[in-house]
């Protein structure tokens, strides 16, 4: 739970307006980049119901290449895709967020999309619009994003925040 607790402490500090270098903290604690670290924090939040099988859990694309998945929740029969945008960092995480919808079209199961970091706070324009397009499509201002989300809605189990993931799992397990 060390990684999840670090994440929750970062979220709390961020919500209080305390500035810090979250990517550096993650690297110091885990030796990983924020994206890979988020997968570990998600595994901790889900617990033993999360089967992290990167090489065994792949989806073959129409062109023969494969997607390596962030994970699979066996008792919910759904894949897990994490999108992490570190607190107080610059980078390309926002533009990468939209690319996940292209992958969903080729998945053979529904996927749980987990927002981490700035994406969880919905302070990033891309994450807020996608969140609204999925959870409140009638009030979303971007009709093009609503259309994008709706085009693969049958492939999306849900979009959740990492801090709420454990509760979501408890409410949704069979």
53 pLDDT exceeds 70?
A: no
pLDDT at 102: 86
pLDDT reported for residue 162: 96
pLDDT at 93 over 80: no
Q: Is 138 in contact with 88 (CB distance < 8 Å)?
A: no
pLDDT in tens, 3-37: 899 999 999 999 999 999 998 999 998 888 888 88
Query: pLDDT tens digit string along 62-91?
Result: 788 888 888 888 888 889 999 988 888 766
Residue recorded with tokens 């500035």 = 19
Neighbours of 8 (CB within 10 A): 15
Compute the distance between CA of residue 64 and CA of residue 24 in angstroms, rounded to an integer: 37
Q: What is the mean pLDDT of residues 48-72?
A: 73
Contact 2, 10 (CB under 8 A): no
> pLDDT grade, residue 48 (50/70/90)?
low
Q: What is the pLDDT of residue 81?
A: 92
Of 2 and 88, the structure prediction assigns the larger pLDDT to 2
From CA 130, how far away is CA 137, in angstroms rounded? 9
Give the pLDDT confidence of 119-162 residue by residue, as tens digits. Answer: 999 988 889 999 999 999 999 999 999 999 999 999 999 999 99
Q: Long-range contacts for 73-77 (Cβ within 8 Å, ≥24 apart)? A: 73/46, 73/49, 73/112, 73/169, 74/49, 75/49, 75/173, 75/174, 76/49, 76/112, 76/157, 76/169, 76/172, 76/173, 76/174, 77/109, 77/110
Q: With beta carbons less than 8 A apart as the criterion, state whether 77 and 157 touch.
A: no
Q: What is the pLDDT of residue 115?
A: 96
Query: pLDDT category, 94, cuts 50, 70, 90?
Result: low
Full-model pTM: 0.90
């Amino acid at each position: 739970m060390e990684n999840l607790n670090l994440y929750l402490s970062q979220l709390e500090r961020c919500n209080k307006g305390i500035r810090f270098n979250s990517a550096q903290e993650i690297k110091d604690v885990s030796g990983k980049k924020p994206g890979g670290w988020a997968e570990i924090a998600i595994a901790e939040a889900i617990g033993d119901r999360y089967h992290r099988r990167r090489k065994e859990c792949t989806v073959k694309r129409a062109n023969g290449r494969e997607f390596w998945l962030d994970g699979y929740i066996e008792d919910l029969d759904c894949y897990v895709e994490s999108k992490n945008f570190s607190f107080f960092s610059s980078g390309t995480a926002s533009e990468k967020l939209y690319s996940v919808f292209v992958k969903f079209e080729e998945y053979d199961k529904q996927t749980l999309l987990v927002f981490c970091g700035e994406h969880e706070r919905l302070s990033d324009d891309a994450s807020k619009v996608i969140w609204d397009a999925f959870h409140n499509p009638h009030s979303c201002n971007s009709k093009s994003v609503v259309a994008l989300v709706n085009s693969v809605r049958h492939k999306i189990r849900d979009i959740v925040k990492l801090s709420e993931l454990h509760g979501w799992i408890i409410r949704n397990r069979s």
